[in-house]
Structure 1
């Protein structure tokens, strides 16, 4: 078993990676903010505490990475409604590079970064890891820049590099204003759900499964870009109708009452390339 450090361990994705790794018997150190507690049901073996992990320099990280076999860098600035074009993304890049350099210096054998499907040129209904890359926001550009920098830096070291590109995730711990929790909240209250036409194609994956897929990368050591996705195309309308059917309330769905945002791509669907253990 390995000793793994996870940044963003209490976050939407990080907590699921933590859970999957603990289920496999790994020792996990969580990076947390002062006073932050992991959600109930999630436990780490140890914690590293910092008010702002992106402000810590290489020397600070090097002191805390002794004995770590793998770093999973799940943290990023993702404040809802603000993160896509926020300059804070630049700080995340700089802080992530300091962490990666420290991982190399400390002898960590594997560095796993978390990217986004928004690094690709969109729309796209068959996005493979070799599809054209063309980010449309500062957030996606910053992620892609980090991928390129680490992709050139880490292969020249003893630390292998993996980059997990997340597609559309839903599930436990999701921000309440996002599509799935919004739909469920409205249906549970018996209130109308106002939606766009719902024609956009998406690749949806439960965040718990995404956590398991990322944990699998620790096990296999797969390097390079990896699409963390289902590979299945579904319209937003079909997804919402399937949720409404759980409540028997399709009558509460109002499609076409909200406009599709001009920047919302018509299709974002991935082609999985995750290597499974023994595969």
Structure 2
């Protein structure tokens, strides 16, 4: 029998795509959401239950919810994911209580497995392939908050007898993500044949296509034990200049690319690539999309949405 799934943060990029996959595969889901969250993508099905709240304490105070039994709790919510918020003190003051309350709610709803989402930013700057054993030395408050929350979540889940998984996500990409992210910004500019200013593009980055990330989560809900801290990435980095030139070729764009127009940041990460041995071994998972396939699928989605024939 399929496990029943609780989702907090269903309107996030990964949360939305994962929720759609659960629905398509007939899972019963329970969504916790603030009134401001856009859940218009959800179909009207009896298998989907939604509880809107203004304050997180409302969930703990609702006795009716304590009678529910949902096996797995996914925590997608996080304050301040964009670059302009990466050193905002609220990374700590908002997100640490959020994670603590999340695990309290998981216990309240009798969940057996709590799954949270970390980041490559927890590791800091390294010039070699990063495994889960790589020392964490985050350089931003975002990375530090994620790392602190990973430790708190482990302690609380152990205290409550809940299985614990913390997925350190490297960069995701795919259609319908926020246009502020590099690949979405890039494809939009290329399709519009607009000039693009960027760095020299010597950075090597590990990007994972959204469908592959969802596939990993679908495999994760079939395991009974938590996986602890685990990398979720493609395991293959690409030089940003090569990524840009590949996207330009696939879009057949006339955009002028001004490599080197933007200087590197002082804390610029030049090499970010994950070792995905652990998740591959434990889940029998590996990415299906290479960069050519992922970009092409994403470009075709944009063309369809924008009604472009080229």
- Per the normalisation by structure 2, the TM-score is 0.81
Uncovered stretches (5+) of structure 2, i.e. residues with no partner: 287-310
Q: Aligned residue for 2:123?
A: 120
Name which of 124, 131, 135 aligns with 2:134: 131
Query: Residues 128 and 227 of structure 1 are in contact (CA less than 8 Å); yes or no, is this contact kept in structure 2?
Result: yes
**Deviation of residue 277 (structure 1)?**
5.3
- Please list every run of at least 4 consecutive aligned residues from structure 1 whose deviation after the TM superposition is greater than 6 angstroms: 41-44
Name which of 234, 247, 254 aligns with 1:230: 234
Change (3 A) 1:134 1:79: closer
Change (3 A) 1:61 1:85: farther
Q: Aligned residue for 1:254?
A: 258
Uncovered stretches (5+) of structure 1, i.e. residues with no partner: none
Q: Aligned residue for 2:183?
A: 180
Query: Residues 79 and 94 of structure 2 are in contact (CA less than 8 Å); yes or no, is this contact kept in structure 1?
Result: no
**Deviation of residue 58 (structure 1)?**
7.2
Q: Which whole-Å CA distance do the structure 1 matches of 2:12 and 2:111 have between them? A: 23
Find out whether 1:46 has 2:53 as its counterpart: no
Q: Which whole-Å CA distance do the structure 2 matches of 1:167 and 1:79 have between them? A: 13
Q: Aligned residue for 1:239?
A: 243
SS at match of 1:220: coil
SS at match of 1:98: helix
**Deviation of residue 195 (structure 1)?**
1.2
After superposing the two structures, state which structure 1 stretch, 178-187 or 212-221, moved more: 212-221
Q: Aligned residue for 1:86?
A: 88
**Deviation of residue 203 (structure 1)?**
0.5
Q: Which has the higher contact order (CA 8 A, sep 6+)?
A: 1
Cα RMSD, aligned residues only = 2.4
- Per the normalisation by structure 1, the TM-score is 0.90
Q: Aligned residue for 1:18?
A: 19
Q: Which whole-Å CA distance do the structure 2 matches of 1:201 and 1:62 have between them? A: 50
Number of residues paired by the alignment?
277
